[in-house]
């Protein structure tokens, strides 16, 4: 089968939105399919919104037997056999509209008009699809709420999960993801001032700009935590990631209302490590069960500190939760065989 995988991307920013496309491509080729990857750049700028949407609408993929669309606004592509694996809306125009910090532009008549036109265009294009999948229950609920569209949850696996393994349980909580304000690494740093143990923290990843990493460095200095926090503002290779997860005490991932469980959580699970997250982290809560395969805490430094201390003091509990984290992946049927069966049905 000739399959086109269509998505958008932010130039020079590598993230899970690319991984879901590229890893699916690898698996489809292994199954003998011909695959083309189609990316168009997309940035969340209101004045560029409809020009970008029009570009997707003009894409001609009639040579493909099936088109699978991911990140917005790829779902605007027209094709008689269009499948959506919908991973998020343009959130500043949807669920984050009421949040001035994350919206980034005025709540005025002009932008409300853009929002309403966007919702109408999205709904029309999404309803063209033969089948709509989402990457989490959170995203399925947003599709239902904002577009009146039902969808099937299809959890994305990682490529080559066997590269993750457990070697030991040291004294570090690791958080390996982009360094961005909405990923909230600052809460983990703030938590260390409330811990009763010498538990350590390792934060790793690139950032879309210098401001947030600089803020984290300032916070570390201000709280006199330089001896307990390792901050690596750089691209972390897959081998480095596997090594950090193999040795750590546990992993932390506490984004603000994330669309899905996030690759950092599932990678930690494959390494048999517990995950610390918060009550408002969104799709992460579909994977992490409080007291079973990790901790779901209040969104406070004190709540996070308590979880860190518990894991540090009781390594047997950390080990038990880590084993549960790995088992949860099978229970939730997170596998490429399931993904391919559903997408190619």
| Residue pLDDT, tens place only, 146-185 | 999 999 999 999 999 999 999 999 999 999 999 999 999 9
| Residue pLDDT, tens place only, 197-208 | 999 999 999 998
Check whether 101 has a pLDDT greater than 80.
no
From 105, 133, 154, give the residue that closes a domain: 154
* 167 shares its domain with 146: no
* 110 shares its domain with 7: yes
| Residue pLDDT, tens place only, 218-267 | 999 999 999 999 999 999 999 999 999 999 999 999 999 888 888 999 99
The residue ranking higher by pLDDT, 44 or 19, is 19
Residue 103: per-residue pLDDT:
84
Q: Is residue 338 part of a domain?
A: no
* 30 shares its domain with 125: yes
* 183 shares its domain with 110: no
* 147 shares its domain with 166: no
Residue 136: per-residue pLDDT:
94
Mean pLDDT (the chain) is 95
Check whether 16 has a pLDDT greater than 80.
no
- Split at pLDDT 50, 70, 90, the class of 94 is very high
* 171 shares its domain with 315: yes
Check whether 14 has a pLDDT greater than 80.
no
Residue 116: per-residue pLDDT:
96
From 123, 154, 185, give the residue that closes a domain: 154
Q: Which residue range(s) make up the domain with 34?
A: 2-154
Check whether 12 has a pLDDT greater than 80.
no
Range in 39-53, 139-153, 274-288, 330-344 the model is least confident about: 39-53
| Residue pLDDT, tens place only, 300-312 | 999 999 999 999 9
Check whether 15 has a pLDDT greater than 80.
no
Ordered strands of the 250-252 beta sheet = 229-232, 200-204, 172-176, 250-252, 275-278, 294-297
- Mean pLDDT for 61-85 is 97
- Mean pLDDT for 131-157 is 97
| Residue pLDDT, tens place only, 187-197 | 999 999 999 99
| Number of domains, the chain | 2
Residue 313: per-residue pLDDT:
98
Check whether 100 has a pLDDT greater than 90.
no
The residue ranking higher by pLDDT, 10 or 109, is 109
Residue 65, CA distances (Å) to 12, 99, 202 in order: 30, 41, 46
Residue 50: per-residue pLDDT:
92
From 154, 173, 193, give the residue that closes a domain: 154
């Amino acid at each position: 089968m000739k399959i086109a995988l269509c998505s958008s991307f932010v130039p020079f920013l590598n993230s899970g939105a690319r991984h879901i496309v590229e890893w699916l491509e690898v698996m489809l080729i292994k199954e003998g399919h011909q695959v083309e990857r189609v990316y168009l750049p997309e940035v969340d700028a209101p004045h560029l919104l409809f020009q970008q949407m029009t570009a997707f609408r003009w894409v001609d993929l009639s040579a493909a037997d099936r088109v699978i669309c991911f990140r917005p606004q790829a779902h605007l592509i027209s094709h008689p056999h269009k499948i959506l694996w919908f991973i998020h809306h343009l959130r500043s125009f949807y669920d984050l509209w009421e949040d001035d910090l994350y919206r980034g532009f005025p709540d005025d008549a002009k932008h409300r008009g853009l929002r309403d036109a966007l919702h109408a265009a999205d709904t029309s294009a999404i309803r063209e699809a033969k089948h709509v999948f989402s990457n989490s229950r959170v995203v399925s609920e947003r599709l239902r709420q904002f577009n009146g569209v039902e969808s099937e949850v299809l959890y994305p696996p990682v490529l080559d999960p066997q590269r993750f393994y457990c070697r030991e349980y040291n004294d570090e909580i690791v958080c390996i993801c982009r360094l961005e304000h909405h990923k909230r690494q600052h809460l983990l740093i703030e938590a260390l001032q409330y811990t009763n143990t010498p538990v350590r923290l390792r934060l790793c990843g690139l950032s879309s700009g210098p401001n947030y990493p600089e803020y984290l460095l300032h916070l570390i200095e201000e709280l006199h935590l330089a001896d307990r926090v390792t901050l690596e503002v750089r691209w972390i290779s897959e081998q480095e990631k596997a090594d950090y997860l193999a040795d750590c005490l546990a992993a932390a991932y506490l984004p603000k209302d994330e669309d899905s469980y996030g690759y950092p959580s599932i990678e930690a699970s494959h390494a048999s490590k517990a995950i610390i997250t918060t009550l408002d982290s969104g799709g992460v809560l579909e994977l992490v069960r409080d007291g079973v395969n990790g901790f779901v805490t209040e969104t406070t430094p004190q709540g996070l500190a308590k979880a860190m201390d518990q894991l540090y003091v009781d390594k047997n509990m950390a080990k038990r939760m880590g084993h549960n984290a790995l088992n949860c992946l099978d229970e939730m049927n997170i596998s490429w065989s399931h993904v391919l069966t559903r997408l190619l049905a």
